[in-house]
């Protein structure tokens, strides 16, 4: 029976240090200020539910507090007299973590997790092709248009060279035409040339891609399951650097403080093969042929994906609806069962102090530092297809594409142009 539990840990160690000041009363003082080094935190998980995936939350903090040592002598009445001293004395600064990483980079919301899982399933799905040959050949129809655009750019440059010295109107006309050609070139590069080059590169790695697919199929056939992992990217935020006095009692130490917060997300899923999965019984030639068809999308299901990809403006719809992602995620040519789906995220803040001004007579055992990490695991599956989130739909790349489309819309551009 599944049972939720909560645990805690605290391995910090306290130490006693002393300082001596000849003119103080009392001269020797004991310092028992704070933990010097160690980590502490909590863990919330579930037991008794194997082999199901359970939610997990780990919140851990760590701190390193350096100590001061040293003696300073002065001459009084011709004799050396101890003036000041540190004996394993902790610095004044308490370097315990104060920056909660979740306040710097928020954990994904429920809707964001849903979308991340859909995207990850499209990449992790063993039935999804490495590259879609049907889509590649369907898009070859765009090549004549690309060649015509490049020829048009060359002709426009020649026309400008012949007429630019005679009339400013020719310059304006040339500028408008060149902008349109540049916009068309941007669209062509983003949605035709670059994907085509990527597909060609994948085709050149034919043997490597097919071998990987054969290894996956063999594992499904012999072990009955396959575990896949997809990296969902990282992000980082760095706080402004600040100058801090880390110790001022009897001696002055200064440092530059920097705090960096990072977040990593990844997806793990397990796929179960049906009892009828007979790949291991195929002949070597049949195994390679079957793996090739899966790798390059020579399947009935991939025809649906190709149909969607070649529809006009399907790329624009995918910005908002993600139909292409849903098609790839639901590809089940191999007849597998998806189990054990989970999304994981680690968010961590690290603060470091780099010494900028050392004391005049004391020494420091090291530099202060701390970290605060939050590790989370969610086991929920997909619910609604790629729901809208608070994240901006239009990033810099999409804005550049929309700008190119605007330039290509000549009538709208002329209506918006101010008279002169």
Residue-level pLDDT at 132? 65
Taking residue 148's Cβ as centre, other Cβ atoms within 10 Å add up to 11
Mean pLDDT (the chain, rounded): 77
User: Where are any strands of DSSP class E within 22-113?
Assistant: 28-31, 35-47, 56-64, 67-76, 79-90
User: Which residue, among 230, 219, 202, has the nearest Cα to 121 in the 3D structure?
Assistant: 230
Residues of the chain with pLDDT under 70: 32-35, 131-206, 303-324, 380-420
What are the helix and strand counts (H, E) for the chain? Answer: 13, 14
Domain boundaries, the chain: 106-414
DSSP codes, 171-206: HHHHHHHHHHHHHHHHHHIIIIIHHHHHHHHHHHTH
User: Which residue, among 304, 236, 230, has the nearest Cα to 266 in the 3D structure?
Assistant: 230
Distance separating alpha carbons of residues 133 and 139, to the nearest angstrom: 10
Residue-level pLDDT at 411? 47
Residues 133-160 have pLDDT tens digits of 656 555 555 555 544 554 554 454 455 4
Residues 94-123 have pLDDT tens digits of 898 988 999 999 999 888 888 888 888 888
Distance separating alpha carbons of residues 154 and 184, to the nearest angstrom: 14
Cis peptide leading into 26, omega within 30 of 0?
yes
Contact 259, 350 (CB under 8 A): yes
Residue 212 φ/ψ, nearest 5 degrees: -60, -45
Distance separating alpha carbons of residues 246 and 355, to the nearest angstrom: 9
Residue-level pLDDT at 115? 84
Residue-level pLDDT at 395? 47
pTM here? 0.71
Residue-level pLDDT at 322? 61
């Amino acid at each position: 029976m599944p049972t939720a539990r909560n645990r805690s840990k605290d391995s910090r160690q306290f130490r006693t240090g002393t300082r001596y000041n000849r003119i103080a009363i009392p001269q020797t003082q004991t310092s028992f200020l704070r933990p010097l080094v160690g980590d502490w935190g909590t863990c919330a998980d579930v037991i008794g539910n194997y082999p199901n995936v359970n939610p997990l939350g780990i919140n851990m903090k760590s701190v390193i507090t350096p100590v001061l040592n040293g003696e300073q002598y002065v001459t009084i009445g011709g004799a050396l007299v101890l003036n000041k001293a540190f004996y394993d004395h902790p610095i004044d600064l308490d370097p315990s973590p104060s920056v909660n990483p979740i306040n710097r980079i928020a954990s994904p919301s429920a809707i964001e997790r849903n979308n991340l899982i859909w995207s990850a399933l499209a990449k992790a799905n063993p039935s999804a092709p490495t590259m879609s040959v049907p889509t590649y050949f369907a898009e070859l129809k765009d090549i004549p248009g690309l060649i015509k655009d490049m020829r048009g750019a060359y002709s426009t440059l020649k026309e400008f060279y012949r007429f630019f010295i005679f009339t400013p109107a020719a310059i304006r006309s040339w500028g408008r035409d060149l902008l349109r050609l540049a916009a068309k070139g941007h669209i062509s590069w983003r949605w035709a040339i670059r994907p085509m080059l990527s597909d060609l590169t994948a085709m050149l790695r034919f043997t490597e891609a097919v071998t990987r697919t054969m290894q996956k199929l063999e594992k499904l056939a012999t072990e009955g399951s396959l575990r896949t992992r997809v990296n969902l990217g990282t992000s980082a935020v760095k706080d402004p650097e600040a100058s801090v006095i880390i110790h001022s009692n009897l001696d002055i130490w200064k440092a530059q403080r920097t705090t960096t917060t990072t977040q990593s997300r990844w997806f793990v899923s397990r796929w179960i093969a049906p009892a009828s999965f007979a790949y291991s019984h195929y002949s070597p030639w049949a195994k390679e042929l079957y793996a090739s068809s899966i790798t390059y999308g020579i399947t009935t299901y991939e025809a649906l994906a190709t149909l969607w990809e070649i529809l006009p403006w399907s790329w624009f719809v995918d910005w908002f609806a993600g139909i292409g992602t849903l098609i790839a995620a639901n590809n089940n040519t191999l007849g597998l069962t998806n189990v054990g789906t989970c999304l994981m995220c680690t968010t961590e803040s690290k603060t470091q102090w780099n010494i900028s001004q050392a004391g005049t007579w004391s020494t420091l055992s090291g530099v202060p530092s701390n970290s605060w990490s939050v590790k989370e695991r969610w086991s929920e599956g997909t619910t609604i297809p790629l729901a809208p989130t608070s994240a901006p739909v239009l990033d810099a790349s999409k804005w550049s594409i929309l700008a190119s489309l605007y330039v290509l819309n000549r009538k709208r551009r002329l209506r918006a142009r101010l008279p002169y």
